[in-house]
Amino acid sequence: MAKGKPWGGRFEQATDPTVERFSASIDFDRALARFDVRGSIAHARMLGAQGIIPEGEVGALVAGLEAVAREIENGSFPFDAALEDIHMNVESRLGHHVGKIAGRLHTGRSRNDQVATDLALYLREVSAAAQRGTLELRRVLVARADEHVDTLLPGYTHLQRAQPVRLAHHSLAFVEMLERDGGRFADLRARLDRSPLGAGALAGTTLRLDRERTARELGFSAPTRNSMDSVASRDLALEFLAAAAICMVTLSRLGEELVLWSTSEFGFIELADAFSTGSSLMPQKKNPDVPELVRGKSGRVIGDLVALLSVMKGLPLSYNRDMQEDKEPVFDAAATLRDCLEVMAGAVATLRVRDDRMRAAASDPMLLATDLAEALVREGVPFREAHEAVGRVVGHCVAKDLDLRTLSREDLRAFHTAFPDAAAALVDLESAIERRNLPGGPAKERVQAALADARVRLDREQSALEAAKETP
Residues that bind ligand ARG (CB under 6 A): 25, 29, 85, 111-112, 115, 319, 321, 323-324
In terms of phi and psi (left: phi > 0; alpha: psi -120 to 50; beta: otherwise), the region of 37 is alpha
Residue 115 or 178 with smaller CB distance to ligand ARG: 115
299: Cβ contacts below 8 Å, ≥ 6 apart: none
Residue 84 or 461 with smaller CB distance to ligand ARG: 84
- CA distance linking residue 272 with residue 351, whole number of Å: 5
Closest separation in Å from C-beta 221 to ligand ARG: 25
330: Cβ contacts below 8 Å, ≥ 6 apart: 119, 122, 123, 126, 237, 240, 241, 304, 308
- CA distance linking residue 234 with residue 420, whole number of Å: 65
- Length of the chain measured in residues: 472
- CA distance linking residue 392 with residue 374, whole number of Å: 15
- CA distance linking residue 170 with residue 162, whole number of Å: 13
Residue 237 or 351 with smaller CB distance to ligand ARG: 237
Residue 5 or 124 with smaller CB distance to ligand ARG: 5
167: Cβ contacts below 8 Å, ≥ 6 apart: 145, 148, 151, 152, 153, 353, 355, 358
Residue 80 or 292 with smaller CB distance to ligand ARG: 80
What are the phi and psi torsion angles at 255 (to 5°)?
Answer: -60, -45
- CA distance linking residue 95 with residue 102, whole number of Å: 5
Residue 235 or 342 with smaller CB distance to ligand ARG: 235
Closest separation in Å from C-beta 119 to ligand ARG: 8
- CA distance linking residue 36 with residue 83, whole number of Å: 15
CA distances from 116 to 17, 46, 235, 392 (A): 27, 18, 11, 66
Closest separation in Å from C-beta 324 to ligand ARG: 4
Concerning whether 170 is annotated as a catalytic residue, the answer is no
Closest separation in Å from C-beta 61 to ligand ARG: 21
- CA distance linking residue 255 with residue 249, whole number of Å: 9
Helix 33-49 × helix 55-73 angle, to 10°: 170
Closest separation in Å from C-beta 82 to ligand ARG: 14
Closest separation in Å from C-beta 170 to ligand ARG: 44
**Catalytic residue, candidates 23, 279, 310, 463:** 279
Closest separation in Å from C-beta 198 to ligand ARG: 16
Residue 117 or 276 with smaller CB distance to ligand ARG: 117
Concerning whether 276 is annotated as a catalytic residue, the answer is no
In terms of phi and psi (left: phi > 0; alpha: psi -120 to 50; beta: otherwise), the region of 198 is left
Return the amino acid letter for 425. Answer: A
Closest separation in Å from C-beta 114 to ligand ARG: 7
Return the amino acid letter for 355. Answer: D
Residue 192 or 373 with smaller CB distance to ligand ARG: 192
- CA distance linking residue 157 with residue 367, whole number of Å: 12
- CA distance linking residue 212 with residue 217, whole number of Å: 9
Residues forming the active site: 158, 279
